[in-house]
């Protein structure tokens, strides 16, 4: 039996934020990945791989409420009133470079420009760390790559890679990238999202690990405009940016295509009924229900099979 290990670049759906008290996948071929409380698609993925004779271990390094550009790779923007920032967001303001230091898992609208040469918190309650005088690569819209001091501002990529090191007995190891709802929140563009995927994939591959580039599950909403806006991000930023990254790195055998859950599952419905197909939790319209997690897992396993696992 081939044995594989992955760590995760992802957020809450990848980590496991479905309804507690799962109705399924708490035993049998769901081992070694079993969700006893909150739900994710990994038990269903592991089970699907087990049924074809593959063993998958998952080092769950996903971090809830994060975005690929600002939280994982690192992105620079010129400060503007009304911009939404998350922890790790870099901005240029008043001749300095700043990094948002709001609480993990939160986002906020910044209305007071950081200024000075020391850490500061404005009347909008957004705390900023003063990084220093901008360097050559600190430009509006820039996405940082491995080797830059700005790359991986919160250490999340380093943690995902560390989870693979020093663990013998596997036929192959890799990092699975599946994320995007947070990028909708901070208005990442297609070019920025694609550049962030490329930066992380190149870093992972340079260490000899496989980097799987997937598309996270979709987003719904309480009304038609919200659904349309969120799905425009799914198709125009996340799907398109991921495809740009795969195209740019087509010559790298260690960069492979993960599951495109937006295409496989479609636009999720705005319902919390756990047995409804393609359902997301109607409390936030972001997190999948148990039924949809069980649908998603085999698609991820199929992508692994198509990529050689």
Half-sphere exposure of 125 (CA within 13 A, CB side): 5
Residue 137 lies in a domain: no
pLDDT at residue 290 in the model: 81
The answer on 191 and 84 residing in a single domain is: no
Residue 157 lies in a domain: yes
Both tokens of 89, joined, read 């967001």
The answer on 191 and 98 residing in a single domain is: no
pLDDT of 26 > 60? The answer is: no
Residue 27 lies in a domain: yes
pLDDT of 33 > 80? The answer is: no
Q: What is the pTM of this model?
A: 0.95
The answer on 186 and 218 residing in a single domain is: yes
Alpha carbons 147 and 163: distance in angstroms, whole number = 20
Residue 173 lies in a domain: yes
Q: Under a CB-based contact definition with an 8 Å cutoff, are residues 184 and 11 in contact? A: no
Higher pLDDT, 308 or 31: 308
The answer on 127 and 91 residing in a single domain is: yes
Residue 140 lies in a domain: no
pLDDT at residue 271 in the model: 82
What percentage of the chain has pLDDT greater than the value 90?
A: 81
The answer on 252 and 156 residing in a single domain is: yes
Q: How confident is the model over 126-144, as a mean pLDDT?
A: 98
Q: How confident is the model over 4-31, as a mean pLDDT?
A: 72
Residue 139 lies in a domain: no
Query: What residues make up the domain containing 294?
Result: 2-68+145-306
Domain count, the chain: 2
Residue 183 lies in a domain: yes
pLDDT at residue 39 in the model: 80
pLDDT of 132 > 70? The answer is: yes
For the stretch 184-211, pLDDT in tens is 999 999 999 999 999 999 999 999 999 9
For the stretch 235-281, pLDDT in tens is 999 999 999 999 999 999 999 999 999 999 999 888 878 778 888 88
The answer on 53 and 161 residing in a single domain is: yes
Residue 37 lies in a domain: yes
Q: How many CB atoms lie within 10 A of CB 106?
A: 11
pLDDT at residue 22 in the model: 44
The answer on 54 and 197 residing in a single domain is: yes
CA gyration radius for the chain? 19
The answer on 112 and 174 residing in a single domain is: no
Average model confidence (pLDDT) across the chain: 93
For the stretch 146-172, pLDDT in tens is 999 999 999 999 999 999 999 999 999
pLDDT at residue 29 in the model: 53
Contacts of 130 (CB under 8 A, 6+ apart): 96, 97, 98, 114, 116, 117, 118, 119, 120
The answer on 228 and 202 residing in a single domain is: yes
The answer on 175 and 283 residing in a single domain is: yes
Cβ burial of 27 (10 Å; 0-12, 13-18, 19+) is exposed
The answer on 212 and 160 residing in a single domain is: yes
pLDDT at residue 16 in the model: 85
Alpha carbons 119 and 100: distance in angstroms, whole number = 10
Q: Under a CB-based contact definition with an 8 Å cutoff, are residues 175 and 200 in contact? A: yes
The answer on 104 and 205 residing in a single domain is: no
């Amino acid at each position: 039996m081939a044995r594989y290990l992955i760590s995760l670049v992802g957020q809450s759906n990848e980590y496991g934020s479905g309804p507690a008290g799962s109705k399924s996948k708490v035993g049998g071929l769901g081992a070694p990945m079993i969700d006893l409380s909150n739900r994710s698609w990994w038990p269903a993925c592991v089970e699907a791989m087990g049924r074809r004779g593959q063993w998958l271990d998952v080092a769950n390094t996903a971090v809830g409420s994060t975005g690929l550009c600002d939280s994982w790779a690192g992105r620079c923007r010129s400060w503007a009133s009304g911009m939404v920032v998350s922890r790790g967001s870099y901005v240029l303001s008043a001749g300095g470079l700043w990094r948002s230091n709001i609480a993990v898992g939160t986002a906020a609208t910044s209305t007071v420009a950081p200024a000075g040469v020391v850490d500061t918190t404005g009347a909008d309650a957004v705390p900023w760390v003063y990084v220093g005088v901008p360097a050559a690569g600190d430009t509006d819209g820039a996405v940082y790559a491995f080797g830059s001091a700005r790359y991986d501002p919160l250490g999340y990529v380093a943690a995902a890679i560390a989870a693979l090191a020093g663990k013998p007995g596997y036929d192959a190891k890799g990092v699975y990238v599946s994320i995007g709802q947070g990028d909708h929140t901070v208005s990442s563009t297609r070019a920025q999202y694609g550049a962030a995927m490329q930066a992380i994939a190149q870093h992972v591959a340079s260490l000899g690990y496989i980097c799987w580039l997937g598309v996270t599950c979709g987003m719904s909403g309480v009304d038609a405009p919200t659904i349309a806006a969120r799905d425009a991000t799914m198709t125009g930023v996340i799907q398109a940016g991921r495809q740009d990254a795969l195209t740019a790195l087509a010559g790298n055998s260690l960069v492979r295509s993960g599951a495109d859950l937006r295409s496989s599952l479609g636009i999720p419905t705005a319902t919390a009924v756990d047995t409804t197909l393609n359902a997301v939790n109607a409390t936030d319209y972001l997190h999948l229900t148990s039924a949809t997690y069980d649908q998603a897992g085999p698609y991820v396993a199929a992508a692994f099979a198509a990529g050689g696992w």
